[in-house]
Amino acid sequence: MVDFNASVIVNFLLIIDTDQVSISSLFIPVKFFSVLGVVSVSLQTGTPSGSGLPAYATGEYVKIKLGANANAVTAQAGSDALSMYWEAVDVFEYDSNANAAYLTYEVTESIREKLDEAFVAFSTGMDREAYADLEEKDIDEKLSLYGQALTYYAKAQLYAQMVLTQLNKLRPVI
């Protein structure tokens, strides 16, 4: 059995293409990460270093701060997901209010769909996290629920970041 207070969460993210996303989470005993301590996997977009790779070729990354407590890790991931969601909404609303020429009907619908996906994923993550917080008897079930919550938070972050990337690509260079 995994010790609840001595585990970290590792997320694996695979982007098949812009329409299909596969994310899964698992808990690993902290002793395997004793050298790493607390690790933050940060968002990365733009042009990767090196030559031969076009801008955004590395895709979108999610931010998960690893730690020794599953509850704290999940709560932080949820906070990061909500922050990214509101950032994407704010940028989209700013451009919409400015009547940006590149916000055609098709582009606007695409962005709204991604924002909807992000919010649904965030809300589902909150649901799974709440059930995990309430689970007192079965530690495996608790960890599974935290893993599910993290998966949804990662998906919310991803869709919010996809909106920001799409808007950044469409904006004229000044």
* Chain segment 104-142, per-residue pLDDT in tens: 999 999 999 999 999 999 999 999 999 998 888 888 888
d(CA 59, CA 129): 27
Alpha-helical (H) ranges within the chain are: 70-97, 105-134, 139-170
The backbone torsions φ and ψ at residue 16, rounded to the nearest 5 degrees and listed phi first, read: -75, -50
pLDDT at 79: 93
DSSP tag of 136: -
d(CA 93, CA 108): 11
Q: Is the pTM of this model over 0.95?
A: no
pLDDT at 24: 52
